[in-house]
Amino acid sequence: MIFMLVLTSLIFALIGLFLGGGGIWLITLGGSWFYLIAGAAFLATAFFVLVRSALAYWVYAATILVTLVWALLEVGFDWWQLGARGGLVVLLGLWLLLPWVRRPILRDDYGFPEKDKPARAGPWPLVAAVLVSIVVAVISLFTDPHAIKGSLPGARSASAETANAVPDGEWHGYGRTERGQRWSPLDQITPDNVGSLELAWQIQTGDMMGPNDVVETTYENTPLMVDDTLYVCTPHSWAMAFDARTGEEKWKFDPKVPVDGNRQHQTCRGVTYYDDPDMAEGERCKIRVYLPTSDARLIALNAEDGTICADFADNGTLQLQKNMPYKTQGYYYSTSPPLAINGKIVVGGSVNDNYSTDSPSGVIRAYDIDTGELIWNFDTGNPEQTEPLGPDETYTKNSPNSWSVMSGDSDLGLIYAPIGNRTPDQIGLDRSPAVEKYSSSVVALDTETGQPVWNFQGVHHDLWDMDVPAQPALLDLTIDGETVPALVQATKQGEVFVLNRETGEPILPVKEVPAPQDGGLEGENLSLTQPVSALSFNPPKLEGKDMWGASLLDQLVCRIKLKQYNYEGRYTPPSVDGTIVYPGNFGTLNWGSVAVDPERQVMFAMPVYMAYTSTLVPKSTPGVATQGINSNNGADYAVSFSTLLGPLGVPCQAPPWGYVAGADLTTGEIVWKHKNGTIQDMTPLPLKIKMGVPGIGGPIMTKGGVAFLGATMDNYIRGYDVTTGEQLWEARLPAGGQATPMTYETLDGAQYVLIVAGGHGSVGTETGDYILAYKLPEG
């Protein structure tokens, strides 16, 4: 028993020294005094335990109660935040109440002389403090301070069709139509019956991540469905067709893309479907799918059998490296489906981030959809010259690219392209006026000429890799009784800009707010302001109280970290001392975009909040050449970029990290917001605890009033009530579901919900090669 006293005293003393020493450090950085006080209390408790004084119980009871009051003042009834502050403290209180610790403190049963007996007293102060803490913990378990509860409105207009109407039961593009709404007019599945959805069929494509593939080998595909046939592409750029009712394979085309370690991404988000109106029914290649590949090709395939349409381009293949200033293998490729609009196939491309200043161009090109002849090119580094280049000319090197999915309005004759940043993302010392204008923007291009009609920039002088990542969603809104053509643009930084798609002017107000100016490299032309939309998921600035951990100990370390990094809020400039980037470039919203309902005029989103650190590393620093994709060859600085983590690998930033949210697009109000996803697949233990986890992927909505979403870091697809955001259904996936689902109706009248589940290398979810389809039970 004496051994247990010594051990207990030692544990309390070590914790006290850690809290006290760390607390002094935090105070010198301008942080909270609590940890120093807690450290002193732990040391006092250690002393009284060692001398077998019942004062240990009074001191530690006071420690628990002071910790509880401090925690409630900082974070309220937030269970996860209270647990980080008080969990270890209460557990140690329970330890002091165990018989082999309590008895030698309170009684002389072990041979001590009478005169040396400690004061007789009970442990009741500590018992009371522990009970109060337990009551508070129970209350907090049933309290969600992060939730917004409300109800979205019902239908306010009829859905308007585009010039290229899509049958109600089909899904012809990445976002279903050229408008990118991710909304289906199907209504067979409703909030009342969605809980009955069951697996209709499950297949495997056979395309798996190989041992020599890059880390970011991902299944991000959203299949198309036309006339009971599904069209799919896989990470290694296979195109495949399946029967929509049974999943039976119809054909497969393998373009034989070589493995390339230079390639940053190994993914295919989708193929492009086209039905040529000038060709007779049944004629070969009347219906086609266009396949983008990760070795910079665009291949036209006959949708009937998967064979090449040789009349397109050079024997069916466009070589997208043509006219590029640098043709380094693996630096340029396509990850997203091109846009078919008004007789053209419009292609963007992905340029590796932070590899080299001598990188390929981010040019957007429009080709004749039948012949593959280049019609125009829009290069953000040389935006006025849209006429096709000559054979010996080259596009601007390293100009901002459009790697995500474009939308179009055939009636207006406009293409809407989301534009990224240029390499190096964190260094903007030598950017041209054109690059400064078009970086991190959405631009409207004339379909006939490629000339820019308008441009809206989401981040000025972007130093944070805040590419505009998402396909713009187009719909008509009723504002003050008038119909307004709208564009909804989701962004990584959390702003959702609602613009007039004819003019680019904001429909919902956008204001310029002051931006941080301290830090950054000498000579950076930092923007004095940054735009903020009336519809915004931008989180509040991180404070010490937002830091988290598994215990009070690593929570203290994270508070020290927060003070050590350069951080004045969003858009704090990157620096050699290290900067916190929050929201990080993983995105509040990313390529999964948002879903919009053109009848309700509402939006369903999956905002994600993860803090990152960004550190500029001078090239003179030893070992910088080993920093891989962040090497920034040709620049004076490399960049080190990572998640803000505590010493145990737990995020420093408190959960929730992921939500689902519903917003009214006519007012900008976020009507409901709920944490989303569990930690079941994020920890060694299968704990299905709804914490609100990160994810990457996108949602869809249906006229039936149900939204569907995979994306989270636990392997589930879920169904939600669009009106309230309540989760109504979920199904376990055999791998990560980091893709946007889709829905369709087969010729026999059954509505299916389909998702690709193959995992995502960047977020570490379970890999696979699955496609799963769900429907309601028959009868």
- Main-chain phi, psi angles of 101, to 5 degrees: -105, -45
Q: Which residue bears the tokens 């370390």?
A: 557
**Is the Cα torsion angle 304, 307, 310, 312 positive or negative in sign?**
positive
DSSP 8-state symbol, 237 = -
- Told to judge if 465 belongs to the known catalytic residues of this protein, a careful annotator would answer yes
Amino acid identity, position 551: S
Taking alpha carbons only, the member of 203, 222, 177 closest to residue 740 is 222
The catalytic residue among 78, 409, 425, 465 is 465
Pairing label, strands 183-184, 699-702: parallel
Contacts of 436 by beta carbon, 8 Å cutoff, 6+ apart: 428, 461
772/221 Cα distance (integer angstroms): 13
698/709 Cα distance (integer angstroms): 6
571/464 Cα distance (integer angstroms): 7
205/230 Cα distance (integer angstroms): 13
Amino acid identity, position 386: T
778/235 Cα distance (integer angstroms): 34
Contacts of 125 by beta carbon, 8 Å cutoff, 6+ apart: 57, 58, 61, 62
Burial label, 563 (beta-carbon count in 10 A; 0-12, 13-18, 19+): middle
Contacts of 224 by beta carbon, 8 Å cutoff, 6+ apart: 171, 172, 173, 230, 231, 270, 271, 273, 289, 742
381/221 Cα distance (integer angstroms): 30
Taking alpha carbons only, the member of 674, 707, 698, 655 closest to residue 150 is 674
Q: What are the Cα distances from residue 26, in Å, to 33, 36, 629? A: 8, 9, 34
Burial label, 470 (beta-carbon count in 10 A; 0-12, 13-18, 19+): buried
**HSE of 609 in the Cβ direction (CA atoms, 13 Å)?**
23
Contacts of 270 by beta carbon, 8 Å cutoff, 6+ apart: 173, 174, 221, 222, 223, 224, 233, 336, 337, 405
Is the CB of residue 619 less than 8 Å from the CB of residue 646? no
What DSSP assignment string belongs to 593-637? --EEETTTTEEEE--B---EEEEEEETTSTTGGG-GGG--BTSSE
DSSP 8-state symbol, 658 = B
3-class DSSP assignment, residue 13: helix
10/716 Cα distance (integer angstroms): 45
Contacts of 230 by beta carbon, 8 Å cutoff, 6+ apart: 223, 224, 241, 242, 243, 244, 754, 771
Q: Please give the structure tokens belonging to residue 25.
A: 């450090």
Contacts of 540 by beta carbon, 8 Å cutoff, 6+ apart: none
DSSP 8-state symbol, 389 = P
Q: What are the Cα distances from residue 328, in Å, to 49, 85, 116? A: 68, 51, 82
Give catalytic residue positions: 465
